[in-house]
Amino acid sequence: MAFAHGKILLLGEHAVVYGRPALAAGLDRGMTASVVDGGGARLQIPAWGVDVSPADSSAVARAFAALLGALPGELGGPTVRVEPGIPGGAGLGSSAALAVATARALAAHAGFDLDDDALFDAAMAAERVFHGNPSGLDHAAAMHGGLLRYVRGMPPSLTPVVANTPLSLVVAQVAPGADTGAMVGGVAERRARLPVAIEAALDAIAALVDRAQHAVEVGDVVSLGEAMTVNHGLLAALGVSTPALDAACHAARAAGALGAKLTGAGGGGCVVALVDDASADPVVSALAESGGMVLRASVG
């Protein structure tokens, strides 16, 4: 049995694709995978109605096949059963957590060591099926948990961030998630048409990540919340927010949140709000009106 963390992005989505830093937090919820002997090589997620073999044509099956092909050991043909603790397609890193938990379970079952580099590469192979050009951030957070500063590269730069005080967050699913690859592709198209403006927005997001990291390290939650809110505005300018996401962020701030933004690729999915003791319950109530999942998390 193996576990991998779900994730939220506090700041930096989309900019991270272009070499800028991002600040992520691994959740205490994620994916748990176990290997069931017999039945041949299959991936089963009963809660989602998924039961595929690597020879099938669905995206999940092709990602499973890519993962199997990228793992360095001899696997045989085990069936992997996964229990999700986060919703799929909501911007919480479910596909990365699925890949990491599955790879860990397979390696443990087969009895070979899987170091971080091999695990990262295997998860990246699966993520490319789902997302085309993933940054690697989601599966880095799935692997390690905690607060992380991530910069894409070969190899990627992954730096733990130590919070001066735990961060209290409210995460709410506002709408079904959009296709991450399509959202990343949309930003790429805008960048090609408007290179100066989009590069300036990406640089501004990077500056906010630096400010937010410092705020986390010194315990300045007011500055962190402000950076999150401005980051949401820049993501809206990149074309990845929606009226529902904008409205949820506004509702969270009106209820007392220190800051709020979409988290993940956008186009739907989740928002994350930074709260304190006084605002936590009102923000939960305000975001619950969207009708989706609402959860509280403490990070750091």
* Catalytically annotated residues: 138
| CA–CA distance, 269 with 89 (Å, rounded to integer) | 7
- Beta-carbon-side half-sphere exposure of residue 227 (alpha carbons within 13 Å): 24
| CA–CA distance, 268 with 141 (Å, rounded to integer) | 21
Amino acid residing at 184:
V
> Pairing between strand 42-45 and 79-84?
parallel
CA distance to 72, 95, 227, 258, per residue, from 163 (Å): 36, 27, 16, 17
Q: Is 102 left (phi over 0), alpha (psi -120 to 50) or beta?
A: alpha
Query: Which residues, 6+ apart, have CB-to-CB distance to 153 below 8 Å?
Result: 19
> Pairing between strand 146-151 and 157-160?
antiparallel
